[in-house]
Every structure is written in C-alpha cells, then in structure tokens.
Amino acid sequence: MDEIGVLLMRPLSNYIQQELAKRFTLFKYWEIPSESLKLHSDIIRAVVGNGVQGANSALIDSLPRLEIVSSHSSGLDKIDLVKCKERGIRVTSTPNGPTDDVADMAILLAIATLRRICVADRFVRNGIWQEKDFNLTAKFSGKSVGIVGLGRIGSAIAKRAEAFGCPISYHSRTQKPESTYTYYSHVIDLASNCQILVVACALTDETHHIINREVIDALGPNGIVINIARGSHIDEPELVSALAEGRLGGAGLDGLEHEPEVPTQLASLDNVVLSPHTAAGTVETRREMADLVIANLEAYFSNKPLLTPVL
C-alpha cells in the first residue's frame, strides 16, 4: 500500500505518524506548502483528520482522487459530509475509544469546579494557607445532573454520576425508551431541574449555542455547566457575563468556542476550571484511536468492510 498517499492534517502522536508511514506514502499537511500539495494531489487518496481539522469543502475539491476520510475523532463537525456523500468518499470515525476518558473528564471537571480545586491549589502554592483557612466549597455527591445528549458518552457520564448518588435527567432529540432517567424535551426545562448541566451532544446546526442566555439563567446562580463536547455548543460571551455577574455558579470547560484563544475575562475567573480540549487525551486512548484509524484505512484499501463507517 506504500503507493497510496495519505494526508495527515494535524501533528497527532508520533505513533500514528510512524504507523501510517510504514504502510502508506505519508504527507503532513502542516509541513506542505499549498503549491506542493497540488503536485501530490494525484496520489493522495486518503485524509486523516481529527476534531480540530478534518476535511472541508475546499480541501476535498483540491484532492481529485480522494476516496476516504478516516477521522481520529468521534466528532464529525470538521468534515464536509455533504461534499463527501456527493463525491462518494467514505468516512470513518473513532466513536468508542474516547468514551471512558471523556466521561471521566466530565466528572473530574464537575468535582474540580464545585470544590474549587484549582483555586485551592494556588491557595497552597502561594502560601496563603499559612495566613487563613480556605473557604468552604460545594459537594458533588447527591446533586442533580442534567445531561444534554444521552449517547455513548452521555450514558457513561450518567453511570458515573449515579455512583455518587446523583439523580439523572437528560435532553436529546428523542426520548430513549430503554432509559429510566427523567426526560425533558426542552433544554431550558432540563436546566431548570438540575444543579449540574453537562453538555455531551454532537455539534450540529441545531446544537450550536444550545447553551444560551435563557438556559444559563434557568440553571441559575447555584448551578454549574460542564462542557466536554465542542466549545460552540455554548454562547461564550453569554457564559462569561453570567459567570462574572454571578448569574451562574461555575463552569468546567474542556473546549472553547474559538480555541485555542481564551477570553481574558474567562481566564481571570475563579469559578471556572479550564482544560485544553484534552478529555480524550490519554496515551492509552490515543493509541486505540490511532489503531482504529489505520485499521479502517487498511480495510478500505484491501476491499474489506470498514470497521466504523459513517458514510
């Protein structure tokens, strides 16, 4: 398969770069000038992207022999699926690999936000503990948790939260008949009836800014929002103003709307815990995801069924 060109869009792990290079002719998008990319477009038949950079319409149009996009992500919002379908380009993702890590991160962010772990860490490191006691914080166990999106990750979050004695409710496009959790058909109603609101849905046109001012106000000054999905799920200026004004109790965010840029005011707030979109960023999971990306490519170019097809 070494005559098949694969375009890697982002500098992912050394492991996936090495494994791709063993099997294919590897092109690294960040190292190739656009003019040079055109010279290789006749042999590039596959693209490997992730949740930051995938295959948009312009890239697809520039690669006339593109046959498959194998995404190193469970999200698909960085891939022009309509264009891929029109061109007959196959698409795969890594839907299951990140589930445990992302669910773990949701619980971590919730506890860290409620217990002000980052503030407490600075309190100790800066020697303030020698002068006074740390302020009391809020407990996690037993608090009501509302989940936006009860898919694989949302369900894994619910299972973990249940272990802490948290009542679970959720919102999704349709009610899950097999679920025993309380269902709300509107996000505002979900926010009004929980203390911790967790965003775990896919980013689509419908879910863009699904967490807006009305939802934030429904959650209220004692509520917190946790986002382990995409930054654009939340209307960021509204979130920042609510946190600064005390209309929202806190936030734990693994993604931002215009990442890696961080609003100055958001970064200055003590009631926020920030993570650089690394919920699935463990050695174990990234290797599992890399192996699945490569396995899908090998299956496709060997005329075998794809392991995790999207298109």
- The one-letter amino acid at 68: I
Task: Give me the active site residues, please.
Answer: 230, 259, 277
Distance CA 105, CA 99 (A): 10
Element (H, E) at 180: none
Q: What is the DSSP string of 290-311?
A: HHHHHHHHHHHHTT---SSB--
Band the pLDDT of 287: cuts 50, 70, 90: very high
Residue with tokens 């948790």: 145
User: For all residues of the chain together, what is the average pLDDT?
Assistant: 96
Q: Can you list the pairs that 38-41 forms with residues at least 24 positions away whose Cβ atoms lie under 8 Å?
A: 38/62, 40/5, 41/65
pLDDT per residue as tens digits for the range 98-116: 999 999 999 999 999 999 9
According to the model, what pLDDT value does residue 74 have? 87
Band the pLDDT of 1: cuts 50, 70, 90: confident
Residues of the chain above pLDDT 70, percent: 100
Assess if CATH 3.40.50.720 describes domain 98-274: yes
CA distances for 18 relative to 12, 43, 59, angstroms: 10, 19, 24
Smallest CA-to-CA distance from 292 within 16, 101, 54 is with: 16
According to the model, what pLDDT value does residue 2 have? 75
According to the model, what pLDDT value does residue 73 have? 92
Comma-separated ranges of CATH 3.40.50.720 domains in the chain: 5-97+283-302, 98-274
Q: Check whether the bond before 260 is cis (ω within 30° of 0).
A: yes
CA distances for 114 relative to 138, 191, 199, 263, 303, angstroms: 5, 17, 17, 22, 51
Smallest CA-to-CA distance from 48 within 298, 279, 304, 305 is with: 298
Q: DSSP assignment, residue 29?
A: G
Q: What is the pTM of this model?
A: 0.91
Contact 218, 244 (CB under 8 A): no
CATH architecture entry for 5-97+283-302: 3-Layer(aba) Sandwich (3.40)
Element (H, E) at 31: none
Smallest CA-to-CA distance from 60 within 39, 44, 72 is with: 44
